[in-house]
Amino acid sequence: MHTIVSKEQLSPNVTRLVVEASRIAQIRRPGQFVIVRRGPGAERIPLTIADADPVAGTITLVIQAIGKSTSDLVELEPGQAIQDIAGPLGQPTELIERGHAVCVGGGVGTAVVYPIAQELHRRGVRVTSIIGGRSREWVILEDELRQAGEVVACTDDGSYGRHGFVTEALKDALEAGGVDAVYAVGPVPMMRAVSELTRPYGVPTTVSLNAIMVDGTGMCGGCRVSIGGETKYACVDGPEFDGHKVDFRMLADRLTTYRTFEQQALERREACRIGLRQPAPAVAPASAAASSNLTPATTENAR
């Protein structure tokens, strides 16, 4: 069991959990992730190790609540525990040793570039972080990233920082010259746009692919991606790859495979919560008994 040590809301649907996981905290490296299972029957989901404190024996998870499993996780309070955390998994990020790196984070992707920016800074690389959100309250980890170098915050609506997409700020940095590497993590269209932008400049671009994962050990094939025409497994060969070689269309298609199941799981979760808020009926209605058969394990099997 992994006890939650602290919890903090970073944006309307992004939560930071600091969790006991001593062995993982000792050996994790930037770019690696864990597979988390909240409790018996729950789905296994991959989450990046956003930070770690080897002395305290904790890791930091930054979680965007978008579906059933992530919403269940962010409901946990300090003192409660996550049953299973497996990791560290995946290949560590290949980092440059000198020069100027631009780290681009969109939404919760900022939490994934954060350990990369930290380690680049530790190596003496100049780091510029370009981070974006739809408006001010969706921009996360700005203060933390500032400790690693310059930060350009962008908002779609102009309510904070620079008005516009992260790609516009990145274009200016590329035009200015001297960028040796770009690390980009965020929604698939963002990573695709960043990769297309850097291609003509010949700047090596690393993206972190959020493929659907089940076992995280290369056994199930769920996280299959196409890189330069070759099949790779994001969990063991990645999750980071050369953005100029990724087949983003295939990735986007595969991410929609279980959309109906995901929506149903979320709807059942909401229905259960409404049921919990209402006074308990004297005799359980047949529909409640039926819905209790639809456990989260159904979603996991569907993957």
Ligand X SMILES: Cc1cc2nc3c(=O)[nH]c(=O)nc-3n(C[C@H](O)[C@H](O)[C@H](O)COP(=O)(O)OP(=O)(O)OC[C@H]3O[C@@H](n4cnc5c(N)ncnc54)[C@H](O)[C@@H]3O)c2cc1C
Instruction: Spell out, one character per residue from 79 to 118, where the chain touches ligand X: x when CB under 6 A holds, - when not.
Output: -----------------------------x--xx------
Name which position in 81, 86, 220, 266 contacts ligand X (CB under 6 A): 266
At CA 209, angle to CA 85 and CA 6, rounded to 5?
Answer: 35
> Restricting to residues 158-177, which ones interact with ligand FES according to CB under 6 A?
none
Q: Which stretch binds ligand X (CB under 6 A): 20-28, 66-74, 124-132, 269-277?
A: 66-74
**Least distance CB 171 / ligand X (angstroms):** 27
Helix, strand, coil percentages for the chain (3-state, nearest 5) = 35, 30, 35
The answer to the question of residue 213 lying near ligand X (CB under 6 A) is: yes
265 by DSSP, 3-state: which? helix
Q: Using the minimum distance from each CB to ligand X, give the nearer residue, 108 or 125.
A: 108
Sequence letter at residue 83: Q
The answer to the question of residue 48 lying near ligand X (CB under 6 A) is: yes
- 273 is written with which tokens? 């919560």
Using CB distances below 5 to 8 A depending on partner kind, what does residue 221 bind out of ligand FES, ligand X, none? Answer: ligand FES
User: Hey, CA dihedral for 290, 262, 227, 101, is it positive or negative?
Assistant: negative
> Restricting to residues 205-244, which ones interact with ligand FES according to CB under 6 A?
213-216, 218-223, 233, 235
**Least distance CB 276 / ligand FES (angstroms):** 33
Q: What is the CA radius of gyration of the chain?
A: 20
| Alpha carbon separation from 174 to 1, 147, 180, 193, 216 (Å, rounded) | 46, 22, 10, 14, 35
